[in-house]
Structure 1
Amino acid sequence: MSAADPLVVHVIQDVLDPFTSTVPLRIAYNNRLVLAGAELRPSAIVSKPRVDIGGSDMRVLYTLILVDPDAPSPSHPSLREYLHWMVSDIPGTTGASFGQELLVYERPEPRSGIHRMVFVLFQQLGRGTVFAPDVRHNFSCRNFARQHHLNIVAASYFNCQREGGSGGRRFRPESSQGE
């Protein structure tokens, strides 16, 4: 990864430690491929995406998570990293639909600002070695990886803001929106 890579600029250090991507990860919502830094509105991400995982060995298992490090707002991320989805025991060369959904997909619905929605793919030690947290808010990718002995093998992200939203990253109190 180069220093100009959108993932490095917008996610590494803030959410993830630096890593080298070793497994292809393909994410698509309604057949629209998610590219790092793309913008998707809540109406486009109502249902969980199709996630295809590369690799060359079905015996290697992966865990996929989707987090929002900007919840509830980028200026005041008091719920960071909000966990929207978790799937474990995904065999290599398949997709998330072949894994075990530990936390059902919860559609992102940002209320203020532009939120980064981060997908992280971890390689597991073995089947049944990953467990869902008790709560979705204040999740930590770093702590989760340490606790479950996971290695990051791929990641991607997209930006999301409310349907009528426009502009850059700034905080606007709920009461002043639409004024």
Structure 2
Amino acid sequence: MIFSGSRILIRKLFESTNQILFRNKTNVRYSSNASEVFKNHGVVPEIIPVAPKELLKVTFPSGATADGGNDLTPTQVKDPPKINFQTQSSHFNLLCLTDPDSPSRGRPTYREWHHWLVGNIPGDDVSKGEILSDYISPCPPRTSGKHRYIFLVYKQGGKLTFDEPRLGNKRSSNREYFSIKKFAEKYKLGNPIAGNLFLAEWDEYVEQIYENLSKL
């Protein structure tokens, strides 16, 4: 009984240790790949000068996740995602989702077309932030190829007063010709502390987005 009980205890300790080691190893891999991900997809230096150090956790209600440039569909990302990143509840942060490939990566004449902009976020609770531009689902035009959809989080120096017009999700105007780099410079946000991205191209849901926007 003593031998059997000891063996069970040793196995549990071994399994627990392995779980901790695996979790730590995963965290290190996840964070250390952020710079590589943003450079491999041309985000640095094309869109921002310096890559974030942390890969943002982005989970959509559909169950899909942004994972360093993986392929997702507009249908999968039609609703605002849950965002998680390392921060303190006393800090204010800003979140942006931007498409630098509008209307296509080869001809980005509307660069950037931003899909989401939320400031004064306490910690990582985006639901309590100040919505500057409400979420509009990624909607790449038919035959435009894959677009990069880039999430970036910036740490604010404190609570800010933004003078940008507030944009709802019923109109597409004033979303184009955005620059997250210039926006960050304007509000002295420095370099992003976290980010992630995915790729998406047209699917049938995009037509529904266009139809909803054209009704107004």
State TM-score, norm by structure 1: 0.81
Greater helix fraction, Structure 1 or Structure 2 = 2
Q: Secondary structure at the match of 2:185?
A: helix
Answer whether contact 1:65 1:87 (CA < 8 A) is retained: yes
Q: Secondary structure at the match of 1:144?
A: helix
Q: Secondary structure at the match of 2:75?
A: helix
Count of aligned positions: 161
Query: 1:47, 1:6 → 2: CA distance?
Result: 24
Query: 2:152, 2:33 → 1: CA distance?
Result: 18
Code of the residue aligned with 1:102 in structure 2: it is L
Query: 1:89, 1:125 → 2: CA distance?
Result: 10
Query: 1:88, 1:95 → 2: CA distance?
Result: 11
Aligned pairs for 1:153-164 within 5 A: 153-163=193-203
Give the CA deviation at 1:20.
Answer: 4.5
**1:25-67 Cα shifts (integer Å, max 9, x gaps):** 2111123221111111111111111112322x21111000000
What is residue 175 of structure 1 aligned with on the other side? Answer: none
Answer whether contact 1:83 1:137 (CA < 8 A) is retained: yes
Q: Secondary structure at the match of 1:44?
A: coil
Code of the residue aligned with 1:160 in structure 2: it is A
Q: Secondary structure at the match of 1:149?
A: coil
Alpha-carbon distance change, 107 to 88 in structure 1, aligned in 2, over 3 angstroms: same
Greater strand fraction, Structure 1 or Structure 2 = 1
Query: 1:36, 1:136 → 2: CA distance?
Result: 24
Unmatched segments (≥5 aa) in structure 2: 1-31, 167-173, 205-216
Query: 1:91, 1:3 → 2: CA distance?
Result: 23
What is residue 135 of structure 2 aligned with on the other side? Answer: 105
Query: 2:136, 2:59 → 1: CA distance?
Result: 16
What is residue 145 of structure 1 aligned with on the other side? Answer: 184
Q: Secondary structure at the match of 1:6?
A: helix
Q: Secondary structure at the match of 1:58?
A: coil
Alpha-carbon distance change, 20 to 103 in structure 1, aligned in 2, over 3 angstroms: closer
State which structure, 1 or 2, has the greater radius of gyration over its C-alpha atoms.
2
Query: 2:52, 2:85 → 1: CA distance?
Result: 16
Higher RCO, 1 or 2 (CA under 8 Å, sep at least 6)?
1
Aligned pairs for 1:126-141 within 5 A: 126-132=158-164, 135-141=174-180
Unmatched segments (≥5 aa) in structure 1: 165-179
Greater alpha carbon shift after TM alignment, 123-132 vs 62-71? 123-132
What is residue 18 of structure 1 aligned with on the other side? Answer: 50
Answer whether contact 1:110 1:160 (CA < 8 A) is retained: yes
Code of the residue aligned with 2:133 in structure 1: it is L
What is residue 76 of structure 1 aligned with on the other side? Answer: 107
Code of the residue aligned with 1:91 in structure 2: it is P
Give the CA deviation at 1:19.
Answer: 3.7
Alpha-carbon distance change, 2 to 39 in structure 1, aligned in 2, over 3 angstroms: closer
Query: 1:76, 1:65 → 2: CA distance?
Result: 22
Answer whether contact 2:35 2:51 (CA < 8 A) is retained: no
Give the CA deviation at 1:128.
Answer: 2.7
What is residue 173 of structure 1 aligned with on the other side? Answer: none
What is residue 67 of structure 1 aligned with on the other side? Answer: 98
Answer whether contact 1:2 1:8 (CA < 8 A) is retained: no
